[in-house]
Amino acid sequence: MAKPVIAIVGRPNVGKSTIFNRIVGERISIVEDISGVTRDRIYSQAEWLGKEFNLIDTGGIDLGDEPFLDQIKYQAEIAMEEADVIIFITNSRDSVTDADENVAKILYRTKKPVLLAVNKVDNPDMRAEIFDFYTLGLGEPYPISGSHGLGIGDLLDAAIGHFPEEEEEEYDDSVIKFSLIGRPNVGKSSIINAMLGEERVIVSSVAGTTRDAIDTQFTDNEGTEFVMIDTAGMRKRGKVYESTEKYSVMRALRAIERSDVVLVVLNAEEGIREQDKKVAGYAHEAGKGVIIVVNKWDTLDKDNNTVKDFERDIRSEFAYLSYAPIVFVSAVTKQRLNKLPEIIKRVSENQRLRIQSSVLNDVILDAVAMNPTPTDKGKRLRIFYATQVAIKPPTFVVFVNDPEMMHFSYSRFLENRIRDTFVFEGTPIRILTRQRK
Ligand code: GDP
Ligand code: GDP
């Protein structure tokens, strides 16, 4: 199920990124440190009172050399298009500016809930300063302080109160949901069209009840059901959509969330770009199955080393995706396209794999015998027991005497041992460490 989206809008310097970081909390830095995922700070998962959502800082969307007013206009439009709730941030220090009024006027056009926040109200005595902001005509302003963390709770309470009713996922759990993600022009639509043409399939496009998604269902020869989740931008192109690559990333994130398996499509002609790494990083972090598809393979002059060299580059650029299979295809010659459904199916099965505790614990015992657990000041990390607690992605809990002592490198070692023993090709796995009570 796609999570609700909150978008932050407002002119520069009002404190958008400060508030973004405050809401997202530690999450980004932890993820960055551990997995080496490349990402920017404009889009992140977040949580408030147990409700998960995605947060966009539209101020971080790079709209190139557009004039200032156009930039904030586009940002507001993106927010109105993408978000379920919009938080419009202003700043008590500057009072109401022309730019604020401009943003407000654009936001009048949306039916979506808009919450007006006045930032930099750093202490309760300053609350009187919010009164000017009533004139923006967007209801009661929320006084907040991003740097002091004041008022953010009330703001988020209001925001989650406006989330739409949760929709049930419309497909059976046995149906494999996948999406193709990649920069514009890498050949996503061409691959899909060729794939759907190849399969002896029953194809049906369903206008999803979920926002504006258009899903395509098909069945392979063995009767496995697939749903291709459209990356919206592929079929719905407009001025704003094309004006920025960053924006197409955001659309892709929605599709990633609803997918079991994500095909990260690269263009063989252009090699690997920063943008590719970001979307792939999101898929990894969301715990989705990942397949790297190198398209336009027909355009290269190949020799014995072409595949090897390309694979080596991918492995070094996408270090955290060491588990992802790589497929070289051409939507034009149809080379290897018929392999894709089979690989998607395999990865999806691996995502759902459950390992028996007894077998898992044997593997852990062997691992510990081979490479003893770390010690600190004469104390040794002790592993008591491990068990798989979830699938999609497979998630393991390791019970220990002191979780602090489970270093990243040791956890990575255990992950590698688990991967060596069981087939988790294409899926991230998670290892959580808990103290045995
Ligand atoms: P953005 O351009 O809207 O993303 O704004 P930033 O988050 O980069 O913040 C702009 C400046 O305002 C930075 O120097 C922040 O440290 C400062 N700032 C942000 N929030 C607050 C706040 O609540 N109180 C005060 N006094 N300064 C703040
Ligand atoms: P999308 O924006 O990722 O959906 O990309 P499209 O499917 O629209 O393809 C962009 C361009 O690349 C089109 O002109 C396609 O004809 C071309 N293209 C797509 N796949 C291939 C391929 O495998 N080989 C070659 N040579 N061209 C391709």
Residue 426: partners with Cβ closer than 8 Å, 6 or more residues away: 261, 289, 290, 291, 323, 324, 325, 343, 346, 347, 350, 351
Q: Among residues 351, 384, 407, which one ends one of the domains?
A: 351
Q: For residue 221, with 0-12 CB atoms within 10 Å meaning exposed, 13-18 middle and 19 or more buried, which class applies? A: exposed
Percent of the chain with pLDDT over 90: 52
131-157 average pLDDT score: 92
Among the bound ligands, name the one nearest to the CA of residue 14.
1
| pLDDT exceeds 90 at position 275 | no
Distance 40 CA to ligand 2 centre (A): 27
Band of pLDDT at residue 146, cut at 50, 70 and 90: very high
Kindly state whether residues 137 and 196 are assigned to the same domain: no
Q: State the pLDDT at residue 40.
A: 55
Kindly state whether residues 138 and 236 are assigned to the same domain: no
| pLDDT exceeds 50 at position 420 | yes
Among the bound ligands, name the one nearest to the CA of residue 245.
2
Kindly state whether residues 248 and 222 are assigned to the same domain: yes
Range of the domain at 129: 5-160
Kindly state whether residues 191 and 339 are assigned to the same domain: yes
> pLDDT tens, 229-267?
876 544 444 444 444 555 566 677 778 888 999 999 999
Q: State the pLDDT at residue 194.
A: 85
From the CA of 182, give the closest atom in ligand 2. Answer: 3
> pLDDT tens, 317-375?
999 899 999 999 999 999 999 899 999 999 999 999 999 999 999 999 999 999 999 99
Output the domain CATH number for residue 364: 3.30.300.20
Output the domain CATH number for residue 142: 3.40.50.300
233 lines ligand 2 (CB under 6 A): no
131-146 average pLDDT score: 91
Binding residues for GTP: 10-17, 57-61, 119-122, 182-189, 230-234, 295-298
Band of pLDDT at residue 220, cut at 50, 70 and 90: confident
Residue 323 within a domain: yes
Q: Is the ipTM of this complex over 0.85?
A: no
149 lines ligand 1 (CB under 6 A): no
Kindly state whether residues 347 and 374 are assigned to the same domain: no
- Which stretches of 174-323 are DSSP H helices? 188-198, 239-243, 245-258, 274-285, 306-317
Band of pLDDT at residue 405, cut at 50, 70 and 90: very high
Q: Are 400 and 384 in contact (CB under 8 A)?
A: yes
16 lines ligand 1 (CB under 6 A): yes
Residue 171 within a domain: no
> pLDDT tens, 27-38?
544 444 444 444
User: Coil, helix or strand for 249?
Assistant: helix
Q: Among residues 131, 160, 189, which one ends one of the domains?
A: 160
Kindly state whether residues 342 and 212 are assigned to the same domain: yes
Kindly state whether residues 211 and 301 are assigned to the same domain: yes
Give the total number of structural domains in the chain.
3
Q: State the pLDDT at residue 215.
A: 77
Residue 168 within a domain: no
Kindly state whether residues 97 and 9 are assigned to the same domain: yes
> pLDDT tens, 20-71?
989 987 554 444 444 444 445 677 888 898 888 989 888 877 666 778 788 8
Q: pTM for the whole thing?
A: 0.73
Ligand 1 pocket test target in 13, 56, 94 with most atoms within 8 Å of CB: 13
Ligand 1 pocket test target in 9, 14, 18, 55 with most atoms within 8 Å of CB: 18
Residue whose token pair is 């659309």: 251
Distance 213 CA to ligand 2 centre (A): 22
Q: Among positive and negative, which fits the CA dihedral 129, 130, 133, 134?
A: negative
Task: State how far the Cα of 335 lies from the Cα of 333, in Å rounded to an integer.
Answer: 5
Task: State how far the Cα of 271 lies from the Cα of 210, in Å rounded to an integer.
Answer: 34
